[in-house]
């Protein structure tokens, strides 16, 4: 290839990198980054982890600060809250707001006011992010490497407490799978994964509320419906009545679901935490505990395999029934890693099939949040069909880790092609490629920066 051709090939990537960096800088509020400029003006837990990975390619110190800020709001139970509220956002900027959650007033485990958080959590991507930041820093200056190394000492006990909370309070049966109390905890809020379990929730009197999200999207079909919101808010009321106490919630809450994607992220995060434990010289007993959590999680995921769908399925703890839907969460075992050859081949066959990347109607061969072959599929509706770039990143990362660098590279190139319009949308209509939800979504920009760093081998 001539030097001129190489330079022309690199030009769109350079433009994407510059635009992605500009998005993070615009959404940056110092120690943390808004998930999106207007729709999400606070710090979200799993967004922050992906965002920190993006920052690592711009500023290691800033990447570390992102995680530090989030963990400063960790609950006494070890839970990392799904939202840390920005006190500068006026009332009505996002709903439900801190006043609706009332965590500090209701739970002794919540950080005391004026800190304010939600009373839920989200998938634990944080150890993966901390480990990746440390790896990126190895290629930088000595000062960067030292900053990242020190951050592991600081974060390790907090990450361990977070994972311990998930392995105990969120899995009192010791099953290896995490129980979620609300679809918001899955991060895939209105996915058809939750339809059956949510339909069984009898909605009581929800105190009046005004949604803020609909002001920030072009049309309401892109967001959850009013009926879905009533159910979300009713579950919040019940969690408040239980004072956000895990034991009380486990006894009586009407939505208790074993989430396979959340659980798989925890397995992968335990692998990363094991690596961090080795770096910081943690005690052997702690390292064995972490490895035990990962193994238990892998075994449990293997048991949730549905051979007919070729996917892994969530299940409803209250009924014991599997939640049979075709969604991206079905690839949970790939995210967890450590699969035998047969199961990996079966998962990849599903991945390539017309139910997912092989669907002829897709604009790009990228994983839709819900399969176009699922009865719950809606091409414009949030988690019911659109493609989410950060989810593509997670599967790309998992493919690299599973020893498929060529597949990973193909997914990365396609993922970057989708983002070349510079919009960094929250999600994309899978058939037309229309950008939907918020523009300038921070984690979309962050994964572009990580992809552009160009390693397909997994870590
Ligand atoms: C509720 C911030 C968050 C993401 C979630 C995504 C969406 C919130 C909402 O936005 O959820 O937590 O208001 O819809 O579903 O994954 O973390 O980007």
Over the stretch 396-440, which tens digit does the pLDDT of each residue have? 999 999 999 999 999 999 999 999 999 999 999 999 999 999 999
11 has pLDDT over 60 = yes
Count of CB atoms situated within 10 Å of the CB of 91: 10
Distance 226 CA to ligand 1 centre (A): 16
Average pLDDT, stretch 281-286? 98
Strands 83-84 vs 311-312: parallel, antiparallel or unpaired: unpaired
Q: Report the nearest-CA residue for atom 6 of ligand 1.
A: 187
Structure confidence at residue 40 as a pLDDT band (50, 70, 90)? very high
1 has pLDDT over 50 = no
* Average model confidence (pLDDT) across the chain: 96
Return the pLDDT at 92.
86
Average pLDDT, stretch 158-186? 98
- Is 426 one of the catalytic residues? yes
- Is 154 one of the catalytic residues? no
Distance 294 CA to ligand 1 centre (A): 26
106 has pLDDT over 60 = yes
Give the C-alpha separation, 47 to 59, whole Å: 17
Return the pLDDT at 218.
87
Ligand 1 neighbour 50 (Cβ under 6 A): no
Strands 257-259 vs 314-316: parallel, antiparallel or unpaired: antiparallel
Kindly report, residue by residue over 108-145, the tens digit of the pLDDT: 999 999 999 999 999 999 999 999 999 999 999 999 99
Specify whether the backbone of 74 is left (phi greater than 0), alpha (psi in -120 to 50) or beta: beta
Distance 327 CA to ligand 1 centre (A): 17
330 has pLDDT over 70 = yes
Ligand 1 neighbour 184 (Cβ under 6 A): yes
Structure confidence at residue 191 as a pLDDT band (50, 70, 90)? very high
Give the C-alpha separation, 254 to 235, whole Å: 8
Ligand 1 neighbour 446 (Cβ under 6 A): no
In contact, 31 and 65? CB cutoff 8 Å: yes
326 has pLDDT over 90 = yes
Kindly report, residue by residue over 245-270, the tens digit of the pLDDT: 999 999 999 999 999 999 999 999 99
């Amino acid at each position: 290839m001539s030097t001129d051709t190489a330079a022309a090939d690199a030009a769109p990537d350079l433009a994407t990198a510059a635009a992605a960096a500009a998005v993070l800088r615009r959404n940056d509020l110092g120690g943390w980054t808004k998930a999106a400029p207007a729709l999400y003006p606070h710090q979200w837990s799993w967004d922050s982890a992906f965002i920190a990975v993006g920052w690592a390619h711009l500023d290691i110190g800033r990447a570390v600060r992102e995680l530090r800020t989030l963990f400063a709001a960790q609950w006494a139970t070890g839970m990392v809250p799904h939202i840390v509220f920005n006190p500068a956002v006026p009332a009505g900027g996002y709903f439900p707001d801190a006043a609706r959650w009332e965590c500090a007033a209701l739970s002794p485990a919540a950080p005391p006011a004026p800190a304010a958080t939600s009373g839920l959590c989200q998938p634990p991507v944080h150890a993966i992010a901390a480990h990746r930041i440390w790896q990126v820093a190895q290629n930088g200056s000595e000062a960067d490497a030292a900053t990242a190394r020190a951050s592991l000492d600081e974060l390790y006990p907090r990450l361990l407490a977070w994972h311990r909370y998930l392995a105990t309070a969120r899995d009192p049966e010791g099953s290896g799978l995490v129980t979620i109390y609300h679809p918001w905890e899955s991060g895939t809020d209105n996915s058809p994964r939750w339809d059956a379990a949510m339909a069984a929730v009898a909605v009581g009197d929800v105190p009046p509320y005004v949604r803020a999200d609909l002001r920030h999207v072009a049309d309401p079909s892109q967001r959850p419906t009013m009926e879905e919101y009533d159910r979300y808010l009713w579950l919040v009321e019940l969690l408040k009545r239980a004072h956000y106490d895990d034991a009380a919630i486990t006894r009586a809450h009407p939505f208790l679901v074993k989430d396979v994607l959340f659980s798989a992220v925890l397995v992968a995060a335990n692998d990363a935490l094991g690596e961090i434990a080795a770096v910081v010289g943690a005690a052997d007993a702690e390292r064995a505990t972490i490895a035990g959590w990962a193994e238990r999680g892998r075994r449990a995921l293997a048991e949730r395999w549905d051979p007919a769908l070729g996917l892994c399925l969530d299940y409803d703890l209250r009924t014991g029934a599997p939640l049979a839907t075709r969604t991206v969460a079905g690839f949970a075992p790939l995210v967890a890693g450590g699969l035998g050859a047969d199961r990996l081949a079966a998962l990849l066959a599903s991945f390539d099939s017309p139910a997912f990347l092989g669907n002829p109607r897709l604009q790009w061969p990228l994983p839709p949040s819900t399969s176009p072959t699922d009865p719950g599929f809606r091409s414009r509706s949030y988690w019911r069909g659109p493609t989410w770039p950060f989810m593509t990143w997670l599967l790309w990362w998992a493919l690299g880790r599973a020893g498929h660098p060529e597949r990973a590279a193909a997914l990365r190139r396609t993922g970057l092609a989708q983002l070349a319009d510079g919009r960094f949308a929250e999600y994309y209509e899978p058939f037309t490629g229309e950008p939907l939800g918020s523009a300038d979504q921070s984690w979309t920009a962050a994964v572009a920066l990580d992809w552009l760093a160009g390693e397909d081998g997994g870590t």
